[in-house]
């Protein structure tokens, strides 16, 4: 059994303009580090393209059409001040969602123990009818619902350690029994959501907001006292990770001051929870991380821990 890596050339065609932090070089840095021979055992899969039947699990058809028809023939189009489309952005977003859903298929069917999806654009800020925060479609939320609809999974969980709260995932899961969202994030910080008393309609939302500059000890305590106990009580049949690495101390967009060992530790905790409740079924998908060196080393650490679990 194996760890699968989902990639697609279209991710490099999504261009966001000069000085935008969510840029193709992020994927190039990841590709370079994962080309090292220590990752030879990864099974590399070219991500399929999602169709409307997947996207409309979480987004109204009208929103899907609005996003895709906003793609310009040339130049850039801003859906909001932060969220940009170029020629090729729609295809990249469709292959991003396709990657996470295909990874779910693989771990549920037993073709892989776990998977990492090196995708862009990210997804966790995208709400049902609003693209925002660099995100076009909420790939992880779609994949969690896909696990339930296509595979009969009763309880699917998303754990998000991106430094920014996944407002989109929280909103999409809020009143859906059988979906769980847990998040550690800097607070108050963009997008301004993720209060500790947000619980969801079924007590299926658990936030662990962290003050700026709190670092490793506070992050691990939040996971150990809030996120992991709630996840254990939920008894997920599959775990998905919104794997943002912008909580790293070198990242320019936030100030949580984590280091690579924190991501390794968090990965180990979630792997153990997947082993306990989900037969090891775990899918991780890239969200943020904007310092290229920190992103590359953090992803490498994360994937090494996934591979060690197989």
Residue 281 binned pLDDT confidence (cut-offs 50, 70, 90) = very high
Give the pLDDT mean for 190-217: 98
Q: Would you state the structure tokens that stand for residue 284, as one six-digit string?
A: 């991780």
Structure confidence at residue 1 (pLDDT): 64
Q: Find out whether 243 and 306 touch, Cβ atoms under 8 Å.
A: no
Q: Find out whether 160 and 222 touch, Cβ atoms under 8 Å.
A: no
Q: Which of 14, 95, 124, 125 is the catalytic position?
A: 125
Q: Find out whether 230 and 146 touch, Cβ atoms under 8 Å.
A: no
Give the pLDDT mean for 170-174: 98
pLDDT tens digit sequence for 205-254: 999 999 999 999 999 999 999 999 999 999 999 999 999 999 999 999 99
SS3 142: helix
> Residue 96 class from Cβ within 10 Å (0-12 exposed, 13-18 middle, 19+ buried)?
buried
Structural domains in the chain plus CATH codes: 3-308 (3.40.800.20)
Q: Please enumerate in sequence order all residues whose Cβ is within 8 A of that of 285, keeping only pairs 6 or more positions apart, or say none.
A: 96, 99, 100, 103, 116, 117, 119, 123, 139, 140, 143, 240, 241, 242, 243
pTM score, two decimals? 0.98
Is 20 one of the catalytic residues?
A: no
């Amino acid at each position: 059994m194996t760890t699968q890596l989902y990639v697609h050339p279209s991710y490099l065609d999504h261009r966001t303009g000069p000085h935008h932090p969510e840029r193709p070089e992020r994927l190039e840095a990841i590709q370079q580090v994962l080309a090292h021979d220590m990752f030879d055992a990864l099974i590399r899969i070219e991500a399929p393209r999602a169709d409307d039947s997947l996207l409309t699990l979480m987004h109204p058809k009208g929103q899907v059409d609005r996003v895709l028809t906003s793609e310009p023939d040339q130049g850039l189009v801003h859906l909001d001040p932060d969220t940009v489309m170029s020629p090729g952005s729609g295809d990249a977003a469709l292959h991003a969602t396709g990657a996470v859903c295909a990874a779910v298929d693989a771990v549920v069917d037993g073709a892989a123990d776990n998977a990492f999806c090196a995708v862009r654009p990210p997804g966790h800020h995208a709400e049902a009818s609003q693209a925002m925060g660099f995100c076009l479609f909420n790939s992880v939320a779609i994949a969690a619902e896909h696990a339930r609809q296509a595979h009969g999974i009763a309880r699917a969980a998303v754990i998000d350690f991106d430094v920014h709260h996944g407002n989109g995932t929280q909103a999409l899961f809020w009143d859906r029994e059988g979906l769980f969202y847990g998040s550690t994030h800097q607070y108050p910080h963009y997008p301004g959501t993720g209060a500790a008393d947000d619980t969801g309609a079924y007590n299926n939302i658990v936030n662990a907001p962290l003050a700026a500059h709190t670092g490793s000890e506070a992050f691990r305590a939040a996971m150990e006292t809030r996120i992991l106990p709630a996840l254990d009580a939920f008894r997920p049949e599959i775990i998905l990770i919104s794997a943002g690495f912008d909580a790293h101390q070198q990242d320019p967009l936030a100030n949580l001051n984590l280091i690579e060992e924190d991501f390794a530790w968090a990965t180990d905790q979630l792997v153990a929870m997947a082993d306990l409740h989900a037969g090891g079924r775990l899918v991780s998908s890239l969200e943020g991380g904007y310092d290229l060196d920190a992103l590359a080393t953090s992803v490498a650490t994360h994937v090494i821990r996934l591979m060690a679990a197989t």
